């Protein structure tokens, strides 16, 4: 409810968030062993953008590496809760059973959670709804299409363009 409820907020602006930049910054800090700084960066971002699924994971890793396992568990628990919320919306096998997301960044987070990598992405429209269809490479090297319903984030663009 928390994840999808944000779409009715006046602050909901999924394409203006800089989640990719923050993720890259946290990963850079982690690679340099600056765990406390990485945790602080993630925590600060999430204070203003509480649905950054991937940020919860990376911040949890930062807390874990800095020896703060209880704090890490808190972030991993929220990460798992958001993932579960998205996965519960469908199976991603078709437009009818697409995963419903509120942020374009969540597509890659879900793909990574499933253990896949992406080789291609195409936006499609079916019956007035918009979908990103990602060609995923499984761990065995097989390709499969994963559908994401992007109506919520994509719908914000029409408000901006008016």
For 85-101, what is each residue's pLDDT tens digit?
999 999 999 999 999 99
Please name the residues in contact with 39: beta carbons below 8 A apart, sequence gap of 6 or more. 59, 62, 63, 66, 68, 71
CB 54 within 8 A of CB 23: yes
Average pLDDT across each block of 10 residues of the chain; the chain has 162 residues. List them in order.
62 68 94 98 91 94 98 97 95 96 90 95 93 95 96 70 46
Residue 102 has a pLDDT of 87
Domains and CATH numbers, the chain: 2-6+14-86 (1.25.40.10), 92-161 (no CATH)
Q: What tokens does 158 get? A: 């029409």
The pTM (predicted TM-score) of the whole model is 0.85
Task: Report how far apart, in Å, the C-alpha atoms of 69 and of each of 34, 43, 51, 57 are.
Answer: 16, 15, 22, 13
Q: Given the structure tokens 């600056």, which residue do they identify? A: 34
């Amino acid at each position: 409810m928390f994840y999808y409820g944000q779409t009715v907020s006046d602050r909901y602006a999924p394409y203006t968030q800089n989640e990719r930049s923050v993720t890259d910054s946290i990963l850079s800090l982690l690679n340099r062993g600056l765990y406390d700084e990485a945790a602080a960066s993630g925590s600060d971002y999430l204070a203003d953008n509480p649905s950054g699924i991937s940020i919860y994971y990376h911040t949890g890793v930062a807390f874990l590496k800095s020896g703060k396992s209880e704090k890490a568990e808190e972030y991993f628990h929220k990460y798992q809760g958001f993932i579960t919320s998205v996965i519960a919306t469908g199976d991603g096998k078709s437009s009818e059973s697409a995963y419903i997301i509120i942020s374009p960044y969540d597509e890659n987070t879900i793909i990574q959670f499933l253990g896949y990598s992406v080789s291609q992405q195409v936006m499609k429209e079916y019956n007035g709804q918009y979908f990103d269809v990602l060609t995923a490479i499984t761990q065995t090297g097989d390709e499969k299409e994963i559908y994401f319903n992007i109506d919520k984030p994509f719908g914000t663009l029409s408000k901006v363009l008016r």
